[in-house]
Structure 1
Amino acid sequence: GGEGGPNAGGERERRRGGRKDESDWWTRFQNDFPWDEKTTRNVVIGFAGMASAFLYFYFRETGKEVSWKDFVNNYLARGLVDRLEVVNKQYVRVIPVHGSYLWFNIGSVETFERNLELAQQEMGLDSTHRVPVIYGSKSDGTFLMSILPTLLLVGSLLFTMRQGPMAGGRGGGRGNPFSMGESKAKIMKDNIDVRFKDVAGCEEAKLEILEFVNFLKNPRQYQDLGAKIPKGAVLSGPPGTGKTLLAKATAGEANVPFITVNGSEFQEMFVGVGPARVRDMFAMARKNAPCILFIDEIDAVGRKRGRGNFGGQSEQENTLNQLLVEMDGFNTSTNVVVLAGTNRPDILDPALMRPGRFDRQIYIGPPDIKGRASIFKVHLRPLKLDSSIDSEALARKLAALTPGFTGADIANVCNEAALIAARYLNESIIVKHFEQAIERVIGGLEKKTQVLQAVEKTTVAYHEAGHAVVGWYLEHADPLLKVSIIPRGKGLGYAQYLPKEQHLFTREQLFDRMCMMLGGRVAEQVFFGKITTGAQDDLRKVTQSAYAQVVQFGMSEVVGQVSFELPRQGEMVMEKPYSEPTAQLIDQEVRSLIDAAFQRTHQLITEKRDVVEKVGRRLLEKEVLDKADILELLGPRPYEEKSTYEEFVEGTGAMEEDTSFPEGLRNWNKDQGMEESPQEQQRKQCLNTVSHA
């Protein structure tokens, strides 16, 4: 009856049937209860908890604990003890004649033996009737219980690492919250309410971005001519100029997926996480092509390699290397455009900026006066203005009053004006609220409660009067708008000027500006014979301007036509790019330039002493003087000046910013429902006429 017995086939069939039934049961169980990583982790944690509870209840001492006195009086003296067991030299287990066992702690075995001997001697027990003592050891689980939390922590960490960098090469284990190799990039396809009409002041950059969008929508328009679309573009410029806003508008306008990620999200303390996230992000981009990938603050991951890394591998460098490889792997058929934003393009790695990776560098600088007017129009739309205010005229006026402001500053001004109007319970916003908001942004918070002593207030008044008078009688100084001795921010006085919209400055213009900045210090010395600490900010600006003229602009005949880069604020300079004799020469030239400006300012204030005194007294009376008050005190300014929007934009072409799209983007315009150009309408009309003929 072995293998060939009559019942062997039935037995094998029964075993196969059993395995089949078991396999079907396991399949049904897996279908009913999907076994993913999260379920595995929960089951492991549950088993660990149950194991901890089992070890605790198994190893703990379950008998009744008694004291030494109770043991002697209630058990030993009555003869109820069968034997004693000393366990691990820590406690004694009392085995009674009847009932459950007891236990008590001991300090040491020697003390226990001595006390037991004395107790039995006092009871008069001879050696034959004394209680036997047994010594033994037992594992109480203390060591296991102490390392159990550590084992759980190490196991969780290993499980997380397994799902992190290792899984990053397999796509990052998407969907697992413990997966560190998964990219944190967010993909957006709709519900983006920012459009190109909401972005103003950077029209050239907007047209550059429009070309990328047009390529993603109409690639044949370029491919038929053999053109290759640039793979990427870097949006650079000062903070607040609208780089991220322009990228959001691109996402809102383009009917393609928009993937966004921050450069700092690639940095982790674990090795290999950054490159894994880069791989996962580009895999997501290829999967959703055509799309736009935007990396904000790319300088966090794209810094130049080899800086501050002495002899070791850097995780940031590995992440950058992976980014370079992924961008090289793109070709013109992937239809993925990479945009990046940064305000530190000078520290980016040259390999990242070369053609083939980021082909274009789009600089978005502070807007000019036309751009500021366009930005004001955008931010004035949602505000409740007074019915007598023309928003177009208000935007032009505010643009003339805010030279050097970025888009973020303009948004802040409009918001501050609305807050000021709400603070005083106004039903609408008037022009005065915008003027107060501009003063708030430029000078800081007005401190009407800060009380100055009479001597300090007089000093501040004559200090500001010195600034105003010197600037009034110098040809190249900026026009004065308002003077105030009400403390603002950190300063005790405040003067608002209207700088000219110019990009090139002559030596004479810079010299006049230095004299105007020194007017306050000179006025203190002329009128009081003493100097104060109030001119510290003025002296800092004068020193910076003098060094820039000598070191950067080559405006010194002694130093010559050379230019050296001045260190930025916060940068550590190990050595100067010029010799020590040149440094001494530069210092001498700077001192002589500042002394010349000081002497000229001193001469001017001495000549106009009565005028300065008149302005100072009026400031003490009114605390705030505007341009009309200055005109009343000093008369018309002897030099021509510009103060309105129309005067500033005169001779620059159109009065408004040109926001029309070029003819080459007409396909994109038609998709967006924009009106066709007259040339396009005329061309279509001609074609229709020819076809009918």
Structure 2
Amino acid sequence: MSNPRLTASHRKPTPTQRAATTVVEVLRTIGRLLRRDLLATFLLAAAIALTITFFSLLGSLSPQAEGQQVSLSNVISLARADRARSAQLLDRDHQVVVTTDTGQRVYADYPSSDTATQDLLLRLHRAGAQVSVDPQSGKPARTIVVQFLLPILLLVTLFAFFTRQTGDGSGGIASFSSFRGRGKKKGKGKAPITFDSVAGAPEALVELREIKDFLDDPSKYLTAGAAAPKGVLLVGPPGTGKTLLARATAGEAEASFFSASGAEFVESLVGVGAARIRDLFAKARKAAPAIIFIDELDAAGRKRGAGVGQGNDEREQTLNQLLVEMDGFGGDAGVVVMGATNRPDILDPALLRPGRFDRQVVVDVPDVHGRLEILSLHARGRAFSPDVDLHEIAKLCPGFSGAELANLVNEAALLTVRDGRGEIDQATLEEAIDRVVAGPAKKHVLSEDERWTIAVHEASHAIVTRATGQTISAQKLSIVARGRQLGTAAHMLTDRDAVMHGRSDLERQLAAIMAGTAGEIIEFGEESTGVSDDLHAATKLARSMVTSFGMSRGLGHVTIGEPGGEVFLGNALQDLGSTGPETLNLIDREVERLVGDAEARATIVLRSNWDHVRETARSLLELETLSGVALDAMLAGVSPMPLDEIALPSRDPDQDPRPSRDQR
């Protein structure tokens, strides 16, 4: 039998108890705020006094006649019967108070018109009653106070109180335009992040150590006649650790760290963003040595005059103030501005000139050695089985950023806990890679025809990749559906660790991408909807070759539009408008030619190695995944066919580039 006391202690609180708890917490919070700020205490006390005064005066304005309320006809009847001994008219309340011959007091409301008042006075006078009038002269003044003065004073007092609490007691009403971002003083908070907490970015660390040395001891730079950089711009893709590097620099130098987002300075109210910039730099100068870090700098530092609407908007005012502030302190001020962005191409040129952001530090995705360092860093404090090879894992995830690698290790830890194990093994880490790239595996059952189609598609990717001699970082084939992908051969299509690619490299990559489509056409006589992602990737790569890399024989060594095909509204509209329709048509024809040639090359390679395609596809049907040594053994007999040795069949430009059924 359960203990009734224990059972009662675990009951859910009633609504009354929850309300009482909420009130107590609110009172405690207000008490803490009041103990910290005497002016806030005065404002709150004044608001309470004004509220009490308001309701007191409001009650005095209502009619307060004594006695029993009756109708006006009853009062007239008393006067006709000579029973009214005395009568008093309350002028503002429009009430008449009558004392009868028996001493009873009654009152009634009468109309506010002069005619009705004179008629009532005449009747009472004829009845012999003693009539008096109370003008109630104090009520007009109280009415003005209650209706106008007290509400205004109460609203102003409450607004000042709550604004002061929002501004943390330091800015009053003007705190709306003050900087309210995150600022951490030296020696406060948790253990500081240092350069030991950063891995996979050795070049960036070398550049940032100078900032740390300058904040530690600026005198040695002044002695040598060297001026330390005023600003450092961290440029790189998302998730590469730009914010972490800024915090590590502040931690190494033991400097105050002020962190803000570029969007915090862009407001709809004119002048607020510029005021916050001024306040931020003023606080940083007082806390020097200090680092001001502005994340997503492109939100406030976008090129001026590039918008479609008006040019002189709030964003430009904020940028102008930032430019002035960065020029407003010398090299010995002990303040360094650090910014982070993944779109340096849209920043205003005045922001990037020497004297403002003097140095640009590129924080790119790590190579295989950097990925190994990052994985080793995130492996600290986690239990791994002896068979784990982090170097092999680093080779299996080319192009991963630091954030993706951290997510990889975390996903592996979650899978380990889900399976009820205590150590992370190699297979779990490989499964975590697939989950990060494409999502969790789908459990729905595919038909045998669908599985065979996917197997032929993925095997065709592998055969063309091996036959054309494409350099790849890792090899893995799978027909397990993940996310929107029905199969996976992405690790085989390119070497994402490579920095530069030649025309032949991109043509081999195009052929490998189009191999899935070519394989389906050879085997089934038509393509399926599963080629959609391949066609999108091939079209994007071919268009970049034509418009960005100058690898088109028809267009020549020119570029069209923004780098990478990204359009910056306002700036790029002029560039696109200056491109004639004939050039745009030529671009489309060149993209179609490159994709068509890639499919034709892939078809020739696959027809020469079709036995290996079928054998690899059958193995995929049986095992679902091939990688490492098993995949190398499967592809060992593939005949090498360099692209320059593949003769493309001549065709009419208007003809379908795919081979006919007889050619298949």
TM-score by length of 2: 0.76
SS at match of 1:494: coil
Superposed CA offset, 1:540-589 (max 9, x none): 11101111111111112221111223474575453524222111111111
- Correspondent of 1:522 among 518, 535, 553: 518
| Shift in alpha-carbon separation, 1:52–1:485, aligned structure 2, 3 A | farther
Q: Which residue of 1 aligns with 2:489?
A: 495
- In 1, the alpha carbon distance for the partners of 2:421 and 2:36 equals 62
Superposed CA offset, 1:356-386 (max 9, x none): 1221111111112221111112111121112
- In 1, the alpha carbon distance for the partners of 2:147 and 2:513 equals 71
Query: Which runs of no fewer than 5 residues in structure 2 stay unpaired?
Result: 1-34, 643-664
Q: Which residue of 1 aligns with 2:469?
A: 475
| Shift in alpha-carbon separation, 1:311–1:625, aligned structure 2, 3 A | closer
Tell me by how many angstroms 1:157 deviates. 9.4
**Deviation larger for 518-527 or 97-106:** 97-106
Q: Does 1:53 align with 2:55?
A: yes
Please say if residues 277 and 321 of structure 2, whose CA atoms lie closer than 8 Å, have aligned partners that are also in contact. yes
| Shift in alpha-carbon separation, 1:557–1:307, aligned structure 2, 3 A | closer
Q: Specify the code of the residue in structure 2 equivalent to 1:484.
A: S
Please say if residues 72 and 109 of structure 2, whose CA atoms lie closer than 8 Å, have aligned partners that are also in contact. no
Please say if residues 259 and 293 of structure 1, whose CA atoms lie closer than 8 Å, have aligned partners that are also in contact. yes
Q: Does 1:385 align with 2:384?
A: yes
Please say if residues 160 and 179 of structure 1, whose CA atoms lie closer than 8 Å, have aligned partners that are also in contact. no
Please say if residues 481 and 497 of structure 1, whose CA atoms lie closer than 8 Å, have aligned partners that are also in contact. yes
Superposed CA offset, 1:72-118 (max 9, x none): 99888788888798999xx9746343556556799x99xxx9xx99x
Tell me by how many angstroms 1:429 deviates. 0.9
- In 2, the alpha carbon distance for the partners of 1:293 and 1:406 equals 25
| Shift in alpha-carbon separation, 1:376–1:162, aligned structure 2, 3 A | closer
| Shift in alpha-carbon separation, 1:160–1:208, aligned structure 2, 3 A | farther
| Shift in alpha-carbon separation, 1:86–1:57, aligned structure 2, 3 A | closer
- In 2, the alpha carbon distance for the partners of 1:35 and 1:368 equals 54
Please say if residues 59 and 139 of structure 1, whose CA atoms lie closer than 8 Å, have aligned partners that are also in contact. no
- Correspondent of 1:464 among 449, 458, 461: 458
Please say if residues 65 and 104 of structure 1, whose CA atoms lie closer than 8 Å, have aligned partners that are also in contact. no
- In 2, the alpha carbon distance for the partners of 1:465 and 1:455 equals 15
- In 2, the alpha carbon distance for the partners of 1:363 and 1:204 equals 8
- In 2, the alpha carbon distance for the partners of 1:154 and 1:562 equals 65
| Shift in alpha-carbon separation, 1:360–1:480, aligned structure 2, 3 A | closer
- In 2, the alpha carbon distance for the partners of 1:245 and 1:275 equals 27
**Deviation larger for 432-441 or 548-557:** 548-557
| Shift in alpha-carbon separation, 1:508–1:75, aligned structure 2, 3 A | same
Q: Which residue of 1 aligns with 2:175?
A: 179
SS at match of 1:545: helix
Q: Does 1:360 align with 2:355?
A: no
Please say if residues 218 and 332 of structure 2, whose CA atoms lie closer than 8 Å, have aligned partners that are also in contact. no
Tell me by how many angstroms 1:65 deviates. 12
Please say if residues 471 and 479 of structure 1, whose CA atoms lie closer than 8 Å, have aligned partners that are also in contact. no
| Shift in alpha-carbon separation, 1:140–1:219, aligned structure 2, 3 A | closer
- In 1, the alpha carbon distance for the partners of 2:155 and 2:146 equals 15
**Deviation larger for 413-422 or 529-538:** 529-538
| Shift in alpha-carbon separation, 1:633–1:261, aligned structure 2, 3 A | closer
**Deviation larger for 299-308 or 439-448:** 299-308
Please say if residues 479 and 487 of structure 2, whose CA atoms lie closer than 8 Å, have aligned partners that are also in contact. yes
| Shift in alpha-carbon separation, 1:425–1:228, aligned structure 2, 3 A | same
- In 2, the alpha carbon distance for the partners of 1:101 and 1:412 equals 84
SS at match of 1:189: coil
| Shift in alpha-carbon separation, 1:263–1:152, aligned structure 2, 3 A | farther
Q: Which residue of 1 aligns with 2:616?
A: 615
Q: Does 1:532 align with 2:528?
A: yes
Q: Which residue of 2 aligns with 1:625?
A: 626
Tell me by how many angstroms 1:127 deviates. 13
Please say if residues 305 and 311 of structure 2, whose CA atoms lie closer than 8 Å, have aligned partners that are also in contact. no
Q: Percent identity?
A: 36
Tell me by how many angstroms 1:454 deviates. 4.4
| Shift in alpha-carbon separation, 1:416–1:148, aligned structure 2, 3 A | farther
Q: Does 1:399 align with 2:394?
A: yes
Tell me by how many angstroms 1:264 deviates. 2.9
Please say if residues 211 and 249 of structure 2, whose CA atoms lie closer than 8 Å, have aligned partners that are also in contact. no
- In 2, the alpha carbon distance for the partners of 1:633 and 1:149 equals 89
Please say if residues 468 and 480 of structure 1, whose CA atoms lie closer than 8 Å, have aligned partners that are also in contact. no
Q: Which residue of 1 aligns with 2:647?
A: none
- In 2, the alpha carbon distance for the partners of 1:58 and 1:127 equals 30
Q: Which residue of 2 aligns with 1:669?
A: none
Q: Does 1:226 align with 2:264?
A: no
Superposed CA offset, 1:179-199 (max 9, x none): 224332513312333221110
TM-score by length of 1: 0.73
SS at match of 1:180: helix
Please say if residues 477 and 513 of structure 1, whose CA atoms lie closer than 8 Å, have aligned partners that are also in contact. no
- In 2, the alpha carbon distance for the partners of 1:130 and 1:639 equals 132
Q: Specify the code of the residue in structure 2 equivalent to 1:563.
A: T
Tell me by how many angstroms 1:306 deviates. 2.6
| Shift in alpha-carbon separation, 1:547–1:354, aligned structure 2, 3 A | same
Tell me by how many angstroms 1:414 deviates. 1.0
| Shift in alpha-carbon separation, 1:637–1:431, aligned structure 2, 3 A | farther
Q: Specify the code of the residue in structure 2 equivalent to 1:59.
A: L
Superposed CA offset, 1:149-200 (max 9, x none): 9746873698599989xxx9xxx98365872243325133123332211101
SS at match of 2:354: coil
Q: Specify the code of the residue in structure 1 equivalent to 2:383.
A: K
| Shift in alpha-carbon separation, 1:142–1:533, aligned structure 2, 3 A | farther
SS at match of 1:539: helix
| Shift in alpha-carbon separation, 1:156–1:521, aligned structure 2, 3 A | farther
- Correspondent of 1:553 among 532, 549, 554: 549
1:117-132 maps to which residues of 2 (within 5 A)?
Answer: none
| Shift in alpha-carbon separation, 1:334–1:626, aligned structure 2, 3 A | closer
Count of residue correspondences: 583
Q: Which residue of 2 aligns with 1:321?
A: 320
Superposed CA offset, 1:634-656 (max 9, x none): 43555699xxxxxxxxxxxxxxx
